[in-house]
Structure 1
Amino acid sequence: MLVLALTLLLIAVAYFLVATLVDLHPLNNVRSAKRSEQLTEVAVNAPIMTLPAVLLALAAAIPLPALGYVGGTLELLIAVHGIVLWWMPYLTGVAVPWATAGTGATWSELHARTYADTLIVLPRIGDRPRPNVEHMILHALFLAAAACTFIATGTL
């Protein structure tokens, strides 16, 4: 289970990096982002997303299971953050305050400008922004990695 958890944690980071830096249209919106925006997103998020794998590896090597639980909790918080950011506006019509930090736009405006042309399979609910497939995959990876991290830590 440890190998599976570490693999999922690292696949989630790799997927994030590829989806942020490589044009995979219509899966992602890399075309509409400036390279500086992409690099900032990677510089801010990749270290945080990598930390759960580091903590789990340390938990197994030392052994100190508490580090694995901290890693699993961090991965779960990352998942919850993404799910709230993307799914709350879709399901409730209410966007979180940090959704558009520094853009001067609403989440609906930002979504229409940057994500509307990406692959989206969910049905419309009025004019609410819908999570795209790129982020649905990422959120599923985060949740699976978090669950496997907790399970693997319990077996250390």
Structure 2
Amino acid sequence: MIALALTLILAAVVYHAVMTLVDLYPFNNVRAAKRSEQLTEVAVNAPVMALPAVLLAIGAAASLPWLGYLGGVIELLAVLGGLLLWWSPYLIGVTMPWATAGTGTTWPQLHARTYADTVIVLPRIGGRPRPNLEHMLLHALMLAAAIVTLIAAKNL
């Protein structure tokens, strides 16, 4: 279970980095971001996303389940942030206050500029921004990683 949890966590980190740095249009739209923005996003998010793997690995090596649980909770919080960012505007029309912090734009404007032309499989709800397939897969991977990490911690 530990190996599966570590694999899922690290797969999410790699997936995020690839989707941020590699132009796979129309699956993603990295063309809309400057290279410096892409590198900053990876530099900020990759360590946070990798931390649960480090905690779980140390917890397993030292027989400290609480480190594994901490890793699982951090992974759960990370995926919760992503779900709130993407799903609350779509499902209930509420944008998180931090969604566009420092950009000088609204979430619908940012979404229209960067994600609206990517692969989106969800039906429209009025004019609300819809999660794209790229982020739906990332969130599913992160949620699976969080669940498996918590199960693995229980078995340490």
User: Match of 1:50?
Assistant: 50
Is the counterpart of residue 143 in structure 1 residue 154 in structure 2? no
Superposed, which structure 2 residues align to 1:128-139 within 5 Å?
128-139=128-139
The alignment's C-alpha RMSD in Å is 0.5
Distance 1:58 1:139 in 2: 25
Q: Secondary structure at the match of 1:139?
A: helix
Alignment-mate amino acid for residue 11 of structure 1: A
Distance 1:33 1:48 in 2: 21
1:90-126 CA distance string (max 9 Å, x none): 0011100011111111100000011011000000000
Report the CA distance between 1:146 and its aligned residue: 0.3
User: Match of 1:27?
Assistant: 27
TM-score, normalising length: structure 1 = 0.99
Report the CA distance between 1:59 and its aligned residue: 0.5
User: Match of 1:37?
Assistant: 37
Distance 1:27 1:83 in 2: 19
Runs of 4+ in 1 over 6 A off after TM superposition: none
TM-score, normalising length: structure 2 = 0.99
Alignment-mate amino acid for residue 129 of structure 2: P
User: Match of 1:63?
Assistant: 63
Distance 1:23 1:51 in 2: 26
Report the CA distance between 1:29 and its aligned residue: 1.1
Report the CA distance between 1:40 and its aligned residue: 0.7
1:25-45 CA distance string (max 9 Å, x none): 111111111001001101111
Alignment-mate amino acid for residue 51 of structure 1: L
| Percent identity over paired residues | 71
Alignment-mate amino acid for residue 72 of structure 1: G
Distance 1:29 1:101 in 2: 20
1:58-92 CA distance string (max 9 Å, x none): 01001111000000000000000000000000001
Superposed, which structure 2 residues align to 1:98-113 within 5 Å?
98-113=98-113
The number of equivalent residue pairs is: 156
Alignment-mate amino acid for residue 103 of structure 2: T
| Structure 1: tracts of 5 or more residues without a match | none
User: Match of 1:89?
Assistant: 89
